[in-house]
Amino acid sequence: MQVKTSLAAYTQLEKKSKITNLLLRWFLYFVLILFASYFIFPLYVMIVTSLKTMEEIRQGTLLTLPSGLNFDSWAVAWEGRGYGAGDTFLKPYFWNSIKMVVPAVFFSTFIGAMTGYVLTKWRFKGDSWVFLFLLFGCFIPFQAILLPMARTLGVLGISNSILGLVVVHTVYGIPFTTLFFRNYYVSVPTELVKAARIDGAGFFKIFFKILLPISAPIIVVTVIWQFTQIWNDFLFGSTFSFGEAAPIQVALNNMVLSSTSVKEYNVDMASAIIAGIPTLIVYVLAGKYFIRGLTSGAVKG
Amino acid sequence: MKTLRIEDLSKNFGTTEVLKKINLEIDEGNFLVLLGPSGCGKSTLLNIIAGLETINEGNVYIDDYNVSKVEPKDRNIAMVFQSYALYPSMNVKENMIFGLKQAKTSKEKIEEQLEKVSSFLQVKELLNRKPSQLSGGQRQRVAIGRALVREPRIFLFDEPLSNLDAKLRIEMRREIKKLHQKLKTTVVYVTHDQTEA
């Protein structure tokens, strides 16, 4: 008798907890979907608006779907309307940005890897101070160094050039990249370096043959980070370059803000999306490794 | 002639004195065990013999030749580490011949050495595997193999068994002993385990 009642009680309890679980689950999904849509809403508006004609934009609301897939405004944003003066379009500035971001990401990542390697595997007197100062570099507000940097670029004769921007971004990327690589290499056993030294490998050989081949996760993290930072940078771009040499974010700003005629929202939206696409591509291609790289600690041999 | 001789060796890190006036001699083919608690400087001594740490005072002689300022790779020694320190990106074969390759040994000689050592240690079927695909005991064997191919004058073991479980440890201990009896190479062995000593 005893057993039976308790069994019934158990089924009762089980049923109850099942219902509670289900309810909580639904609540969870509700909240998640709510937040996700809130997050995705601006993107939706951007895409929809970029596909409309000006006529449609004036008549409809933000949310109405366009009448068809009309890529005219994208073409205007990318290549302009074809008449001369005052026509700003993204194509040349897009390539400016590419020419700036590729070398800047490459050099800052490479130098960061090197410094990280030295700071962990070739300890020297005062190395923790060097690291401290590098860390300090992560916290410098970039507005504070604009004037001295402008002067420096002027003295070097590379102001208002893509090369100048590459130099600036490389220099200011190094604290971050060093931090990433140092923290990664700290978890690599130093015995690896000792073994390699006994095997007769030198400073560079150890770096290229032993450490770099196992650095893929952290390289991906660094590249994504640097790419996003440099591509999206507006401050340095607008301060140290103008006209022909400007990167895409500056051009985007000029395009959207300084149009003298009617505001063309569809073209503005298309331009903004174009300016954002490269970062998106980098994330999609390398995102899989991003989390893995951020969370991966020990490299067990 | 002593294979290894250490004379009045002192070493300090900053103000802490780690080793003070160490004198030590080992004859050809002997097996020296350094036993002591963690942090008493055994590993430091080993690193100094290997040339990985600098010396503050005193000298290290290998075969009566003062190697105090000689690079690790030129000291004719080989070292086996606690964490094995196998190069993660290379397979077993590349791991074992890395040192020979750096020393610009001829291809035939490398193949010959690899063949000899890998059959001796029974790691032949593992040659194309990455270290991550090996068990602890296998890694240990490969690490020893990497030391063996160099045909060193002195073997340095830095707590090589402390990462293994009890059973494997006994097994490997026996194997290292056998190895020593067979090769008759001088060995310096660091441990904090009394039974091991």
Residue range A220-254, pLDDT digits in tens: 889 999 999 999 999 998 888 877 888 999 888 88
- Is the pLDDT at A279 greater than 60, yes or no? yes
Q: Name the helix (H) or strand (E) containing B7.
A: strand B4-13
Chain B: give the shortest CA distance to residue A149, in Å.
39
User: What is the ipTM for the molecules in this complex?
Assistant: 0.86
**Average pLDDT, integer, range A258-285:** 84
Return the amino acid letter for B151. E
A274 Cβ neighbours under 8 A, 6+ residues apart: A74, A77, A78, A90, A94
Residues of A in contact with B87 (CB under 8 A): 192, 195-196, 209-210, 301
Q: Which of the four pLDDT bands, split at 50, 70 and 90, describes residue A295? A: low
Tokens of A12: 């009762």
Q: What is the pLDDT of residues A33-85, one digit of tens each?
A: 999 999 999 999 999 988 888 888 888 787 788 887 888 888 888 887 766 55
**Average pLDDT, integer, range B180-195:** 82
Q: Which residue of B has its CA nearest to A209?
A: B89
Q: Do A195 and B47 touch (CB under 8 A)?
A: no
Q: Among A287-291, A293-297, B34-38, B65-69, name the one with the lowest average pLDDT.
A: A293-297
B80 within 8 A of B147, measured Cβ to Cβ = yes
Q: Do B87 and A300 touch (CB under 8 A)?
A: no
Q: What is the pLDDT of residues B106-125, one digit of tens each?
A: 888 888 888 888 888 888 88
pLDDT top residue among A291 and A16? A16
Distance CA B85, CA B65 (A): 29
**Average pLDDT, integer, range A145-166:** 90
What does the pLDDT read at residue A300? 42
Residues of A in contact with B141 (CB under 8 A): none
Residues of B in contact with A213 (CB under 8 A): 88-89
Chain A: give the shortest CA distance to residue B146, in Å.
9
pLDDT top residue among A101 and A15? A101
CATH homologous superfamily of A91-295 equals MetI-like (1.10.3720.10)
Share of chain A above pLDDT 90, in %: 38
What does the pLDDT read at residue A244? 81
What does the pLDDT read at residue A260? 63
Domain ranges of chain A: 2-79, 91-295
How many CA atoms are closer than 13 Å to the CA of B181, on its beta-carbon side?
A: 6
- Is the pLDDT at A299 greater than 50, yes or no? no
